[in-house]
Homo-oligomer: A and B are copies of this chain.
Amino acid sequence: MLLQEIPKKEDILAAEKRIHDYVHRTPVFTSTQLNEMLGVNVYFKCENLQKVGAFKMRGASNAVLSLTKQQLKKGVATHSSGNHAQAIALTAKIAKIPSYIVMPQNAPEVKVEAVKKYGAEVIFCESNLMAREETLNDVIEKTGATFIHPYDNYDVIAGQATCAKEMIEDTDHLKAIFAPIGGGGLMAGTLLSSQYFGHKIPIIGAEPQGADDAYRSWKAGKLIQMENPNTIADGLRTSVGERNFPIIQDYITDIVTVSDAEIIEAMRLIFNYLKLVVEPSGAVPFASMMKTAEKYKGKKVGVILCGGNVDLKKLPF
């Protein structure tokens, strides 16, 4: 395996070009009413309006399109039942290559269908980490497909970085940007874009209290895996990856953890005032922002609405 370095400015610029036809430049919205209520001017980067309904399309498409022709022919594989799986499947569909998604047998039917709809082959496994990895290895051995990790992958990080880059370009004078931390792909990308394109705007990590491994790892100065995460924000239950953590350590300004009640209230305000559908994970950065609103009175802050894939039957209000 080649030694890799963290993505450079040029890598993110190259990613932006590479994925240009695969992703939307999502809009940035603000709500006068919400701003008056909070005393802060909040700009929302609407990745819930991204293809497949989440920022994951950026990293997945960059990683897939960075493969060699030889690799592309044999296809791509991942294990995920979430937005990354859909992003891999859609990228593969557009690029006309095969994709293989390993999913637990008990994955919700709606998620299985979402991936199949894009033409991916779904391979079921038992619902535990070992079975998942074994099944993925089997698939790779049999097909020669390349594994695209959901976050612990520099090409994925470079792709996710394009989100904050766009936001910085489209919104002047931001005093901070709030982004979520799950595996750390979006966060690492956001931190790098702040360094390279954003005059080092402070980046604030947002994490559910029930899955606060990034906060605890950051405080401890070493990676601590999350055991038994428990939060409504299902997209952020993952622990931070090995390639992601050092970037977080180097560049993050703060991490603000929030309760499920705070996440639900943030979600409700986004539905009510922005008229946007977000998933619980997508509301976490806004919840963190509201919790620290005093610091930003009269100022402009950015908040990444990272995804909108919520089961409408399970809305918490």
Contacts and interface: CB of A to CB of B under 8 A. Distances in A.
B313 A317 contact: yes
Contacts of A272: 277, 312
A51 B34 CA distance: 12
Main secondary structure of the interface of A (DSSP, over half): helix
Copies of this protein in the complex: 2
A243 interface: no
A32 B118 CA distance: 12
A151 to B, nearest CB: 22
Contacts of A48: 275
A21 B264 CA distance: 34
Interface string A278-317: 1000000000000000000000000000001000110101
A271 interface: yes
A310 to B, nearest CB: 9
Interface in A46-63: 48-49, 51, 53
A278 B49 CA distance: 15
A53 B317 contact: no
Interface string A85-114: 000000000000000000000000000000
Contacts of A312: 268, 271-272, 315, 317
Interface residues of A, number: 21
A140 interface: no
B277 A308 contact: no
Contact of A308 (B53, B275, B315): B275
A51 B275 CA distance: 11
A117 B273 CA distance: 14
A197 interface: no
A315 to B, nearest CB: 7
A27 interface: yes
A196 interface: no
Interface string A123-152: 000000000000000000000000000000
A276 interface: yes
Contacts of A49: 29, 275
Interface in A238-258: none
A317 to B, nearest CB: 5
Interface in A9-60: 27, 29, 32-33, 48-49, 51, 53
A52 to B, nearest CB: 9
A57 to B, nearest CB: 12
B51 A32 contact: yes
A305 B37 CA distance: 26
A268 B315 CA distance: 13
Q: Report, nearest first, the 5 A-B pairs whose CB atoms are least far apart.
A: A275-B308, A275-B277, A48-B275, A312-B317, A271-B277
Given A29-B49, A271-B312, A275-B308, 13 more contacts: A32-B51, A33-B117, A48-B275, A53-B275, A268-B312, A271-B277, A272-B277, A272-B312, A275-B277, A275-B278, A276-B276, A277-B277, A312-B317
